[in-house]
Amino acid sequence: MSTASAAEPARGPLQPAKKLADRIGDPLLKWLCALAAFIGVAVILWIAYTVFDKASPAISKFGLGFIGTTSWNPQTLKFGAGDWIFGTIVSALVALLIAAPTSVAIALYLTELAPRALRRPVAILVELLAAIPSVILGLWGIIVLGPFLNNHLEPALHSVLGWIPLFGGSPSPYGMLNAALILTIMAVPIISAITREVFETTPVDLKEGAYALGATRWEMVKMVILPYARPGVVGAVMLGLGRALGEAIAVTQVIGNLGEIKASLFAPAGTLAAQIANEYQGATSSLQIASLVYLAAILLVISLLVNIAARMIVRRVTVQRA
Amino acid sequence: MEAAGVSNPLTRSGPGHGRRKATNKVMEVVATVATVIAVAVLAIVIVSVFIKGVGAINIDFLTHVPAPFGQTGGGIADAIVGSLILVAISSVIAIPIGILIAIYTNEFAPPRISSIVRFALDILNGVPTIVTGIFVFGIIVVGHIDIFGIIKLGGAQSGWAGGIGLAIVMLPIVARSAQEVLLLVPRALHEAALALGLRRWRIVTRIVVPTAIGGMITGAVLGVARVAGETAPLLFTSSIFSELGITTNPSQALPNIPVKIFELSESPAPSDHQAAWAAALLLILFVLALNIVARTFHERSRRRIRA
C-alpha cells in the first residue's frame, strides 16, 4: 500500500490518466460533432442540388423563359412561373408594407413606452403569434377572415378608394388581400422581435442626451433610436420578407390559386409556394412534376438571396455592437 | 435669458411646442394601438379555434378513425398516432445532431469554421418548408436512398420520408438554440476544468452539457412544437394513404394532423370544417402548451446558469 502511494505520489482524481476512455474519448467526440456539423452544412447543398436535378426535365424543356411565361396548363403541358412569381412578390410586398411599420411600432412600445412589468409578458404574447401553425392560420383565413373581407372590409375599401386599381374589382373571400393579411400576421412576430433587440442596444447616453436637449419621446426616437437601429431594422424586415415569400400552406388555403395577373388586391391569385402545395396530389405527368420542382428551385433561389442578405446585415449589426 | 444667435428648436418654450407635444402623443398612441392589435389578433385566432373546435371534440373524435367515405362521424385517432410517430422520428434525428453541431461549433471548431456552420444553419432555417418537402420527395419518394444496404428507403411516400422532412425543419432550431445556451456557460467553469487537467470530452460531458442541459431541452421542445404543426414538408411525403385506420408502420405514409386539417379546410362541407376546427384545437393546445413549458424552463435554466 505504501509502495503504491510512493509510485504515484501526487495523483489526484482529476489528474490526466492514460486511460483508454480518454485516448478514444477526445477524438471520438470531436469527430462525431464534426460529422454532425458536416451533415448540417451538407444538407443545404444537397437540397439545392436535388431541387435543380429533379427540375432538369423542365429546365431543359422551357429554359429560362419559364420565369417570364404566364401559363400553367396541364392539358397542353405548357408551364411557366410568371403568374406565380408575380403573386409571390405582390403578396409579400403588401404584407411587408403593413407588417414593417406595425412591427417597428410594437418594438417601440415594448422598449420605450410599456410599463416595465408589462414588457416581457406582452413581448412573449406577440412572439406566440409565430407559434400558431400556418395550417391553422390558413383555416382561420378561410372561415373567419375571408367572409369578413368579402362582406365588410373590401366593400368599404372599394367604396372609398375604388378609383385606385388596387381596390377596384369586386370583393372576394379568397384573394391577394387575404393572403397578404395572413402573411402579415406571420411576419410581425419575426420583425418585431429582432427590431426590439436592436432597439435595446441603443446607447442610453445618446437617448439621455436627446432628452437633455428637450426632445419629446418621439423626437428622441426619430433622432436617436431609428437612425441608430436602421440597418438592424432593414435586416429584420428582410427576414420577415423571407418568411412571407416562402409560406406555402396558409397562402394556398386563402389566395384562390388562380394564375392570373390582376391589378385588384381582391382578386384570386397564386404564389410559387402556394402553387406547389396546391398541386401536391393533382400533378400527373412527369413534366408537370418537374415544372413544380422548377418552381421550387426558383423559390429556393429567391429566398436564399433574401435570407443571406438579411443574415449578413443582422450579423454585422449585432457583431459590431456586441 | 436668450442664447445669443443659436436657438435650440427643442426648448419647451420654443416655437411649435404644442405641435411637438401633439405629434409625440399621436406617435405614442400609434405604438400602443399596434401592440394592442397584435395581441388582439393572437387572442382572436385562439378564441376562434376554441369556440369552433370545442363542440366537436369528444372521446369518439379522439379514439375513432375516420368514417368511410359518405358516412358521418368518425374521428382522427389515426392522425394523432401518425403525428406522434412523425414527430418522434424527426426528434430522434434532429435533436442529437443539432446538439452535436452546437458542441462542435462552441467547443471544437476554429472560429472561422464555426461561423460558416452557424451561417449555414441560419440559411437552412430560411429554406421554405415546401422546398424541404420537395427535396425529400426528390430523394426518397421518387428517388431511392441506399446506405450500404442497411437503410433502404424510397419509391413511395412513407413515415420515414415525412419524419426526415420534419427533421430538416427542426435541425436549425435545435442547433441554434443549443449554441446560444452553450455561450452562456461561464468561461470560468471551463478554465477551472482545464486547469485541473480534465480532458475535453470529459469537460463537455460532465460540465458543459449538464450546465446547459435546461436550455438545450428548451430548444428541443420549441423544435418539437414547430414541427408538430408543419404541413408543407408532409404534403409530398406522407399525405396519400392506402387504407383507413391506424397505421403505425413508418414504411407507409402516416396520416397526420396538419395534413388532415389542410384537407378538411379545403373541403366545401361544413361538417368537414367542424372537424378541421376540432383538430386545430387539439394541435394548438399541444403547440401552446409546449411553448409555455419551454419558456418557463428557459427562464429557470437561465437563472440557474447565472447564479
Tens of pLDDT, residue by residue, chain A (322 residues): 444 444 444 555 555 556 777 778 888 888 999 999 999 999 999 999 999 999 999 999 999 999 988 889 888 889 999 999 999 999 999 999 999 999 999 999 999 999 999 999 999 999 999 999 999 999 999 999 999 999 999 999 988 898 888 888 888 899 999 999 999 999 999 999 999 999 998 999 999 999 999 899 999 999 999 999 998 999 999 999 999 999 999 999 999 998 888 889 999 999 999 999 998 877 778 899 999 999 999 999 999 999 999 988 887 776 666 5
Inside any domain, residue A104: yes
Comparing alpha-carbon positions, the chain B residue that sits nearest to A188 is B38
The number of beta carbons lying within 10 Å of the beta carbon of residue A194 is 23
CA angle A300, A303, A309 (to 5 degrees): 135
Cell of B217: 431541452
List the 118-157 stretch of A: residues with Cβ below 8 A of B. 122, 124-126, 128-129, 131-140, 142-144
- The contacts of residue B168 (CB under 8 Å, 6+ apart) are A43, A47, B94, B124, B132, B135, B136, B233
From chain B, pick out residues whose CB is under 8 angstroms from the CB of A307.
122-123, 126
Half-sphere exposure of A104 (CA within 13 A, CB side): 21
The set of cell numbers assigned to B265 is 379546410
pLDDT at A3: 45
A72-73 and A78-79 strand pairing:
antiparallel
**Span B213-240, average pLDDT:** 92
CA separation for the pair B213, A191 (Å, rounded): 29
pLDDT value of position A12: 54
Pick A137's closest partner by Cβ from B10, B45, B113.
B45
Number of domains in chain A: 1
Using CA atoms, how far apart are residues A262 and A36, in angstroms rounded to an integer? 47
Per-residue confidence (pLDDT) for residue A37, from 0 to 100: 94
pLDDT at B287: 95
Inside any domain, residue A38: no
A256 in a domain, yes or no?
A: yes
Whole domain around residue B113: which residue ranges? 59-306
- Residue A293 included in any domain: yes
Counting Cα atoms < 13 Å in the Cβ hemisphere of B123 gives 22
- What is the pLDDT at residue B144? 79
Predicted local distance difference test score (pLDDT) of residue B3:
46
Give contacts of B276 with chain A, Cβ < 8 Å: 139
Dihedral sign from CA coordinates of A270, A275, A277, A281 = positive
A288 CB within 8 Å of a chain B CB = no
**Cβ–Cβ contacts within 10 Å for residue B213, how many?**
14
- In single-letter form, the type of residue at position B64 comes to H
Whether B63 is in a domain gets the answer yes
- Residue A196 in any domain: the answer is yes
Inform me whether the pLDDT recorded for B113 exceeds 90.
yes
Pick from B23, B130, B238, B282 the residue to mutate for testing the A interface (most A CBs within 10 Å): B130
Where does the pLDDT of residue B70 fall: very low under 50, low under 70, confident under 90, or very high at 90 and above? low
Residue A174, domain CATH: 1.10.3720.10
B19 within domain boundaries: no
Strand partners, B145: B153
- Residues of the domain holding A228: 61-321
Vertex B51 angle, CA B47 and B55, to 5°: 150
**Does A14 reside within a domain?**
no
Q: Is residue B43, in this structure, part of any structural domain at all? A: no
ipTM of the complex: 0.90
Q: What per-residue confidence (pLDDT) applies to B41?
A: 95
* pTM of the shown model: 0.90
Q: Answer whether residue A308 is part of any domain.
A: yes
- A47, A133, A289 ranked by CB distance to B131: nearest: A47
Average pLDDT over chain B, rounded to whole?
88
DSSP string across chain B: -PPSS---TTSTTSTTHHHHHHHHHHHHHHHHHHHHHHHHHHHHHHHHHHHHHHTT--HHHHHSPBPPTT---B--HHHHHHHHHHHHHHHHHHHHHHHHHHHIIIIIS-HHHHHHHHHHHHHHHHS-HHHHHHHHIIIIISSEEEETTTEEEESS--HHHHHHHHHHHHHHHHHHHHHHHHHHS-HHHHHHHHHTT--HHHIIIIIIHHHHHHHHHHHHHHHHHHHHT--HHHHTTS---SSSS----TTS----HHHHHHHHHHS--HHHHHHHHHHHHHHHHHHHHHHHHHHHHHHHHHHHHH-
In whole angstroms, give the CA distance from residue B217 to residue B61: 32
| B63 close to A257: Cβ distance less than 8 angstroms | no
CA distance A210 to chain B (A): 9
Rounded Cα distance, B173 and A202, in Å: 28
- Does A49 touch chain B if contact means CB atoms closer than 8 Å? no
Q: Do B231 and A133 touch (CB under 8 A)?
A: yes
CB environment B25-43: b (16+ within 10 A), e (fewer): eebbebbbebbeebbebbe
Say whether B202 and A144 touch across the interface (CB within 8 A). Answer: no
Structure-model confidence comparison of residues B68 and A6, the more confident one:
B68
Buried b (16+ CB within 10 A) or exposed e, B113-133: ebeebbbbbbbbbbbbbbbbb
Mutate to test the interface with B, among A15, A278, A280, A288 (most CBs of B within 10 A): A280
Chain B residues near residue A29 by CB distance under 8 angstroms:
103, 200-201, 204-205
What's residue B305's pLDDT?
67
Find the mean pLDDT for residues B239-267: 87
Distance from CA of B281 to the nearest CA of A (A): 9
Nearest chain B Cα distance for residue A223, angstroms? 12
B164 assigned to some structural domain: yes
Q: What are A285's three cell numbers?
A: 405527368
What is the domain-level CATH number for residue B84?
A: 1.10.3720.10
Closest Cβ opposite residue A43 in set B23, B168, B240: B168
- Per the CB < 8 Å rule, is A253 touching B262? yes
- What is the mean pLDDT of the segment spanning B19-44? 94
| pLDDT recorded at residue B6 | 54
* CA–CA dist A136, B74 (Å, integer): 21
**Cα separation, A257 vs A249, whole angstroms:** 11
Taking contacts as CB-CB distances below 8 angstroms, the residues of chain A near B100 are 32-33, 35-37
- B74 pLDDT more than 80: no
Does residue A283 sit within a domain?
A: yes
pLDDT above 80 (res B299): no
Measure CB to CB from residue B229 to each of A29, A40, A135 and give the nearest one: A135
Q: Note whether residue B168 is domain-resident.
A: yes
| Domain total in chain B | 1
